[in-house]
Amino acid sequence: MRLGYISLRAILFLLLNIFCSERLSAQEQRYTFEKGLMGSPFKLIIYASNDTLANKAANCAFKRIEDLNEALSDYRDDSEINHVSAQSGSGKWIAVSKDLFDILSISDDVSKRTNGAFDATLGPVVQEWRRATRKGYLPDKKTIRTALSKAGYKKIKFDKGNQSIWLAKKGMRLDIGGLGKGYAADEAVKVLRSYGIKSAMIDAGGKLALMDPPPGENGWKIVVSTGRDSIKTIEYANVGIATSGPTYRYLEYRGKRYSHIVNPKTGIGLLFHLRTTVISPNATEADALATAFSVSGIKEGKKYLKRFPNNKVWMEERKGDRVLTWNTIN
């Protein structure tokens, strides 16, 4: 009996060693991939059990983002979104892809809940500001009025059953730049999950989609910055995070700095916004709301936040010589 007991214990010990060795050999390692997409660097940090899995998952995620860019980029003459915009005012329903229908539907929902602070039909105005920024002039009032007359989220209608949209006015131009990178990051997450990847971070030009944290960590450590210096390191997982501000993209004209973010009501680039960081259940919502809250400002933003449960905001804006702060992240 004693010999049998020792043998059984030895067998169990051997099996435990084998199990632990297999666990060790399958331990997830960190892999980093980067590629220029949508006019920005896209960075993937993946934890996977081997090189083959990591490379295949990353390549397929990048391919998904490339396909989205081909369809949704208003910079590409041959993109679906520009082809659809060219049919505006035709009096016909326009059949669109699932991606375009979905992203425009999300945009429309955010527009309605923020009273138009976010607007994916602002393309004609955005085009004028892009041109002005490149050449260094301020668009005149008549040009802005004309561009604004072609915009407005209420000028687009949706037919979900037939996956079609209606663009009411000729000259409308769709622009999903305010949430496109967040949407692409979320789609990349879906691809990674299809390969069994659980722990990853997608940095889509500053729009983050966070999956499970790195092994042994409680969350991904993210540094939130105003552009002047680091403010705080926050730690989150399974959320989307987006930050917007005029740090790098703006028009400097006669001593004033106009943000690349345009107010849909005035058609003018924001003057007093410093920075907005939003933490949302997904990167698409975070991306859109970072723009919407930047436009609305702190006072109106506090009202809109009540319409978006499970979101957190950290915002700074200038009022005269003062910098006002609104922070629900803490």
Q: What is the mean pLDDT of the chain?
A: 90
Burial of 246 (0-12, 13-18, 19+ CB in 10 A): buried
**Per the domain annotation, does 274 fall within a domain?**
yes
The pair of three-digit structure tokens given for residue 295, joined into one six-digit string: 């436009």
Residues in the chain: 330
Is the pLDDT at 8 greater than 60? The verdict is no
**Per the domain annotation, does 91 fall within a domain?**
yes
The better pLDDT of the pair 14, 246 is held by 246
- pLDDT score for 255: 84
Residue 280: CATH number of its domain: 3.10.520.10
Is the pLDDT at 245 greater than 90? The verdict is no
User: Does residue 247 sit in the same domain as residue 317?
Assistant: yes
**Per the domain annotation, does 86 fall within a domain?**
yes
Q: What is the mean pLDDT of residues 119-123?
A: 97
Burial of 113 (0-12, 13-18, 19+ CB in 10 A): middle
- pLDDT score for 288: 97
- pLDDT score for 24: 35
User: Does residue 317 sit in the same domain as residue 225?
Assistant: yes
Q: How many structural domains are present in the chain?
A: 3
Say if CB 108 and CB 158 are below 8 A apart.
yes
> Please, which pLDDT band fits residue 283 given cuts at 50, 70 and 90?
very high
Q: What is the mean pLDDT of residues 250-254?
A: 85
- pLDDT score for 224: 83
User: Does residue 113 sit in the same domain as residue 243?
Assistant: no
User: Does residue 62 sit in the same domain as residue 185?
Assistant: yes
What is the Cβ-side half-sphere exposure of residue 77, based on CA atoms within 13 angstroms? 0
Residue linked to tokens 């960190």 = 30
User: Does residue 161 sit in the same domain as residue 298?
Assistant: no
- pLDDT score for 62: 98
pLDDT tens digits for range 99-111: 999 999 999 999 9
User: Does residue 122 sit in the same domain as residue 229?
Assistant: no
| 105: helix, strand or coil | helix
pLDDT tens digits for range 39-88: 889 999 999 999 999 999 999 999 999 999 999 999 999 999 999 999 99
Is the pLDDT at 11 greater than 70? The verdict is no
- pLDDT score for 20: 39
User: Does residue 40 sit in the same domain as residue 183?
Assistant: yes
**Per the domain annotation, does 315 fall within a domain?**
yes
User: Does residue 297 sit in the same domain as residue 323?
Assistant: yes
DSSP assigned state of 254? T
> Please, which pLDDT band fits residue 193 given cuts at 50, 70 and 90?
very high
**Per the domain annotation, does 1 fall within a domain?**
no
Residue 95: CATH number of its domain: 1.10.3980.10
User: What's the distance, CA 212 to chain centroid?
Assistant: 18
User: What's the distance, CA 51 to chain centroid?
Assistant: 28
User: Does residue 93 sit in the same domain as residue 128?
Assistant: yes
User: Does residue 103 sit in the same domain as residue 187?
Assistant: no
pTM of full prediction above 0.75: yes
Residue range of the domain that includes 312: 218-330
User: Does residue 91 sit in the same domain as residue 189?
Assistant: no
Say if CB 167 and CB 200 are below 8 A apart.
no
User: Does residue 235 sit in the same domain as residue 330?
Assistant: yes
> Please, which pLDDT band fits residue 226 given cuts at 50, 70 and 90?
low
